[in-house]
Amino acid sequence: MKYLVSAELETPTDTPELDPLQREGAAALLTDGLVQVDEVTGPDGIEVEVEDFRIGVHPAGAVVGIVSDAPALEFAEQAMRVIIEQILEHTELLAGWQVTKCEVSLNDELALESLRAAEGHTAPPDDPAERLTPPHSDTPESGVQDLQDQSDQVRVQILEAAEKLRAFDLTAFGHYPDEAGLGLGSDQARLAAGALLCSVETMLDHLFTDIETLRTDHLTVAEGDGFFVMDGLPAQYAHRYTALLAQQFMVAAITITSRLLEPQWHKPSCVAEALALHLLIREAKATLDMFDLLDGRAAEHAYAAFQEHAYEDLDFEWLYDPSFDGIDQDPSLGFLDIRPMDVGSWFLPYPTATRPLHPYAESKPPAERTEWDD
């Protein structure tokens, strides 16, 4: 059974707030610790697997969300608390940090599925109230209510963010007020719009972490693991994703996401910007799904509508198809502006671009593109 374990970490009492650089460092340290963990073996040989995680660091600590696979809620909580406490204990720069909260968040359907699936000597008590009581707590707490409270807070934040997205109205997210019975409701469209803007911070934070990993270990994405954003780019070119390319991609991502706040939308000016917007949509979908704010069908509808408004075309999607490796070699296909065999060309401006590229992101001359070419 899969559980989302939410852990809250606090810095030592009376210490100064973390500055932006310290927050980036703390996120990298926590990430390094978690990527090394596949599973934990508890009492009686019970195994709890770590499937995915997200980290957010703030001036006074961090919030960690871990997706785990465990026989029951209690085991997921205990295992994840042990993992995080061991990371803190063995990381000198995180000395004194404390885990102040570590509990499962789950929705009603997952809770019922967990109750029905649990059986045998590892099963929680028959009383549902007891099943939702963490063994380290003297007071029964409802994981369902905790998730609802958390989802309500995120919902408010997302709806507030939707008001700041000036480049598009709700029509771009599938809401058609003049066509009764068609499209999405206004709240659904606002959730899709707000999630897009809220996901910018998450994506860029994770990109910083990816860059640090590449710079520290001198790897390409193909040679390493634990990447958050860079492994969302077309996998067949992962051996060409270096720290330099990741830094240029970061600038492209900042450029395209900042346009969401402008009163007039300018479509992606290059392949890199198109890919960055694609990954932002992916992050927004994950946020809405994690907090159960918009069902999958509605989210797909909203972002399909958004793509029609945001892109000139979706030619960049061919880059994810291994069978089209080398399409730049066939002029008859008409994809010369993409040229996936040379990922450096992803930073060259489209002929139809209405906005200039950032000087740092724009591709260097071919003779200087040694990191990108074989």
pTM for the predicted model, two decimal places: 0.60
Over 70: is that where the pLDDT of 139 sits?
A: no
pLDDT value, residue 364: 55
Same domain, 97 and 162: no
- At 325, the pLDDT band (50, 70, 90 cuts) reads low
Query: Would you say residue 90 lies in a domain?
Result: yes
pLDDT value, residue 11: 92
- The number of distinct structural domains making up the chain is 2
Distance CA 14, CA 4 (A): 31
pLDDT value, residue 90: 86
Give mean pLDDT, residues 241-265. Answer: 94
Q: Structure tokens of 211?
A: 């860059």
Strand, helix or coil for residue 48: strand
pLDDT value, residue 113: 45
Query: Would you say residue 373 lies in a domain?
Result: no
- At 217, the pLDDT band (50, 70, 90 cuts) reads confident
pLDDT value, residue 58: 85
Q: Report which DSSP code applies to 207.
A: H
Give mean pLDDT, residues 141-146. Answer: 48
Q: What is the rounded (10 degree) CA torsion for 267, 273, 274, 278?
A: -120
* 228 vs 367: which has the higher pLDDT: 228
Count Cβ neighbours within 10 Å for each residue of 358-374 and write b for 16 or more, e otherwise. Answer: eeebbbeeeeebeebee
pLDDT digits (tens, 9 = 90+) for 336-353: 444 445 788 899 899 888
Distance CA 271, CA 195 (A): 23
Query: Would you say residue 284 lies in a domain?
Result: yes
Give mean pLDDT, residues 105-130. Answer: 44
Same domain, 101 and 189: no
pLDDT value, residue 361: 75
* 260 vs 34: which has the higher pLDDT: 260
Instruction: Give ∠ CA 280-284-288 in degrees, rounded to 5.
Output: 170
pLDDT value, residue 180: 62
Of the candidates 141, 175, 193, which is a domain's last residue? 141
Same domain, 22 and 124: yes
Give CB contacts under 8 A, 24+ apart, made by 35-39: 35/225, 35/226, 37/83
Domain hosting 38: range is: 2-141
Residue 206 contacts residue 344 (beta carbons within 8 Å): no
Query: Would you say residue 96 lies in a domain?
Result: yes
pLDDT value, residue 264: 94
Residue 340 contacts residue 319 (beta carbons within 8 Å): yes
Same domain, 206 and 349: yes
pLDDT value, residue 331: 38
Distance CA 119, CA 225 (A): 36
Same domain, 183 and 82: no
Q: Report which DSSP code applies to 120.
A: G
pLDDT digits (tens, 9 = 90+) for 65-112: 888 888 877 788 888 888 999 899 888 888 889 999 888 864 444 444
Whole-number percent of the chain with pLDDT over 70: 78
Query: Would you say residue 17 lies in a domain?
Result: yes
Give whichever of 44-58, 121-135, 143-157 has the largest mean pLDDT. Answer: 44-58
Same domain, 126 and 28: yes
pLDDT value, residue 324: 63
Give mean pLDDT, residues 50-60. Answer: 85
